[in-house]
A and B are shown apart, each in its own frame.
Chain A
Amino acid sequence: MERIRILKDKCTGCKLCVRACPFAAITIQDRKAVIDLTKCNLCGACVEACKFSAIELKKETAAKGTDLGLYKNVWVFCEQKKGKIQSISWELLGEGRKLADKLKVKLCGILLGSNISGAAAGIIERGADEVYVVDEKELENYLDEPYTNILVELVREYRPEIFLCGATTLGRSLVSRVAVKIYTGLTADCTGLDIDKETGNLLQTRPAFGGNIMATIITPNYRPQMATVRHKVMKEAAVQKGRKGAVIAKRFDKKIYASRTRLINMVDELEQTVNLCEADIIVSGGRGLGCADNFKLIRELAISIGGAVGASRAAVDSDWIPYSHQVGQTGKTVCPKIYIACGISGQIQHLIGMQSSDVIIAINRDPDAPIFNVATYGIVGDLFQVVPLLTKRFKEVCKK
């Protein structure tokens, strides 16, 4: 018995499902839809698309042994580096607070490190009701295994229903392990989080299947519901001076700190002065620049408005500018106040990385370039004329 099937009497062969399928698994044969089960991923996109209820998908699986009611509260992993809490944690606390309020439960921060207990107050001031702190010499620097072991122990003991973590290099490595050990669901890079009013489930929304569609993902039968969020996607929680909360210090048996990896050294790369993710203004150049030399136009424009320099994949692949400047699916996700795209056509891979910027300005010769669909303002024109003029005007207007 297949989990998905076409109800032949209802199918009109209208092709809506063919277009909706992210895996190109549906074809029309003899005016009826046929699903190639070797390609089908049972995602249900076709069920949504069908106007005739002609596709049946058995999604429900028996609830697992987990007693969901035992799990309460929203947890946020508060990432620290060299004793400093990273701003991603403030963003997660902001979002976590909203979820906790909707569920009428507590928001808890999880803090691991060495000589770190003092930072707990700051987490409470950002909205946490409780902070679980594990403060040990062995936790000074991040290592997969001890950090994983501790989170697993904490989850088993205190049973949170939601567990959020930053989609940083640390977070992605850590919670992937935690979720597998606990046997629960983990949704990466959520762009939206909400609570389903009926079921109380966490609704985790993220771009799916490489781009222009969104999926809402749930973890109905397992707890905690784990999710990561990329930096700059959520708004930071405001500081509430003097806010009170509980700090719970935890200690573990020494063997929990055993690790088969050892950090030898950390090397800061100072040349990476461009921290694109943090920039409020970004000026990006793409294929339309034609050659590496012309990137100076972009740099001058960026300087004139106090912004950082970004680039499309096409520009990076042509070796016009290093990879660290790449914005997009395989580069960085940015969310500045102003994003200026010069000579970038707007391939979906690029748009994914910058489309949540507050104001997007596109400069392109081709009036049909997809970049204009996401832009706030678009100048249809030759960037070699427009950009130098804009640089000149910005210098006049934005002088400090």
Chain B
Amino acid sequence: MDYLLNEQQVMIRDLARQIAKEKIAPVAAEYDEKEEFPWPIVKLLADSDLFGVYIEEKYGGIGGGVLELAICTEELSKACGGISLSLAATALGTYPIILFGNDEQKQKYLPDIAKGRKLAAFAITEPEAGSDAGSIKTTAKKEGDHYILNGTKQWITNGGEAEVYTVVAMTDKSKGARGASVFILEKGMKGFTFGKKEKKLGIRASATRELIFTDCKVPKANLLGKEGLGFIVAMKTFDKSRPGVAAQAVGIAQGALDFAVDYAKNRRQFGQAISSFQGIQFMLADMATQIEAARALIYSACRMIDSGAKDISKISAMAKMFASDVAVKVTIDAVQIFGGYGYMRDYPVEKFMRDAKITQIYEGTNQIQRNVIAQALIKESLK
């Protein structure tokens, strides 16, 4: 389908596609197996300027929006959903600065992020605070020109590898969600250490790690926006980043479908290619249709967001929810088409299935997305 991309978007797509095909696809299985962070690939992505697609030109970026980010994430995810995450998670960690940072903060952090010299990460989740962000236990106590952070963040993508962290902490516990604030932390700050690296089902090339704050002293200048804005920062960030997760999901699904089509054409049983069997054809047709529907929804959502529309939570949640459900379904079917080979780690499709699952879970489980969508619906009906 023609999504009427402009010249620059086509350039981004083609370059990301080239890198995915030439540089990521050949090493995807290896990084998955070793559970290693793909620094050489990150370096390539950095040199290609792809880390800056959604960052303003005056901060060293390319000047695109969430659509550009989605296009890029989708293409990279076709080859490896884990490796693409280094970029997508950096965007997640950067959006709080883009949305709420003052010029000084932007000048300080965005150029390095746009150039890929520094990765970023967003830290909200804690052992006791997943979907329920109001129960965050990490605290930030103001002391003179500083805040003192204490607590632990869990399952932080890019944790340990990133240089820049946007961290949600409670400045006033008594106010619940309205007592949360967001701080920019840098790797190496005193009292900021990393806990264990997680072992995961999928996206194993991405780093997922604990962040530990022990009397970590953060300058006041690193507070994003105002005290108490934390929850809003997080929600606005997710509104921008969820289409990226959706794009990751659709990329994973497309990657699996491409393998499935290729396999079906070449695999012969009963004297003919299995692609000549209607049972297989119907599966492929359904997979392709669902992917296209998901992509259309994502691109529309991105365009709406980039146009500056106000109420974007609903469409953003819809895109994330729909695309991730499609990804799980399509990748399971891709394994099915591969039959016994699909179940083997020597063949590429089982990885897509493992990688797809997380997209239903992170940046808000799909149940939370449904909450968001329903709440928006009810709110609209009251107008």
Direct contact between the two chains A and B in their complex (CB within 8 A): yes
Q: Is the CB of B26 within 8 A of A318?
A: yes
A366 in the interface (beta carbon within 8 A): yes
- Which residues of A sit under 8 angstroms from B26, Cβ to Cβ? 318-319
B346 in the interface (beta carbon within 8 A): yes
Distance between B44 CB and nearest chain A CB, rounded to angstroms? 16
Distance between A290 CB and nearest chain B CB, rounded to angstroms? 6
Tell me the nearest residue of chain B to A369, going by C-beta: B266
Q: Is the CB of B346 within 8 A of A290?
A: yes
CB within 8 Å of A: which B137-190 residues: none
Give the B interface residue count (CB, 8 A): 4
In the complex, what distance in Å separates the CA atom of A325 from the CA atom of B26?
A: 20
Distance between A272 CB and nearest chain B CB, rounded to angstroms? 25
Tell me the nearest residue of chain B to A317, going by C-beta: B26
- Which residues of B sit under 8 angstroms from A319, Cβ to Cβ? 26
In the complex, what distance in Å separates the CA atom of A207 from the CA atom of B268?
A: 34
Interface residues on A, range: under 10
Distance between A371 CB and nearest chain B CB, rounded to angstroms? 15
Q: Is the CB of A366 within 8 A of B266?
A: yes
In the complex, what distance in Å separates the CA atom of A366 from the CA atom of B267?
A: 9
Q: What sequence of 0s and 1s flags, for each residue 261-282 of chain B, a beta carbon within 8 Å of any chain A beta carbon?
A: 0000010100000000000000
In the complex, what distance in Å separates the CA atom of A367 from the CA atom of B268?
A: 10
What total count of A-B pairs have CB within 8 Å?
6
In the complex, what distance in Å separates the CA atom of A319 from the CA atom of B27?
A: 11
Distance between B312 CB and nearest chain A CB, rounded to angstroms? 43
Distance between A372 CB and nearest chain B CB, rounded to angstroms? 15
Distance between B24 CB and nearest chain A CB, rounded to angstroms? 13
CB within 8 Å of A: which B22-67 residues: 26
- Which residues of A sit under 8 angstroms from B346, Cβ to Cβ? 290-291
Tell me the nearest residue of chain B to A291, going by C-beta: B346
Distance between A168 CB and nearest chain B CB, rounded to angstroms? 32
In the complex, what distance in Å separates the CA atom of A318 from the CA atom of B268?
A: 26
- Which residues of B sit under 8 angstroms from A291, Cβ to Cβ? 346
- Which residues of B sit under 8 angstroms from A318, Cβ to Cβ? 26
Distance between A173 CB and nearest chain B CB, rounded to angstroms? 32
In the complex, what distance in Å separates the CA atom of A318 from the CA atom of B22?
A: 10
Tell me the nearest residue of chain A to B29, going by C-beta: A291
- Which residues of A sit under 8 angstroms from B266, Cβ to Cβ? 366
- Which residues of A sit under 8 angstroms from B268, Cβ to Cβ? 367
Q: What sequence of 0s and 1s flags, for each residue 342-384 of chain A, a beta carbon within 8 Å of any chain B beta carbon?
A: 0000000000000000000000001100000000000000000
Tell me the nearest residue of chain A to B30, going by C-beta: A291
CB within 8 Å of A: which B177-209 residues: none
- Which residues of B sit under 8 angstroms from A366, Cβ to Cβ? 266
Distance between B23 CB and nearest chain A CB, rounded to angstroms? 12
- Which residues of B sit under 8 angstroms from A290, Cβ to Cβ? 346
Tell me the nearest residue of chain B to A319, going by C-beta: B26
Q: List 6 A-B contacts (CB under 8 A).
A: A290-B346, A291-B346, A318-B26, A319-B26, A366-B266, A367-B268
Q: Hey, which bits of chain B sit against chain A, CB under 8 A?
A: 26, 266, 268, 346
Nearest 3 pairs between A and B by C-beta? A318-B26, A290-B346, A366-B266
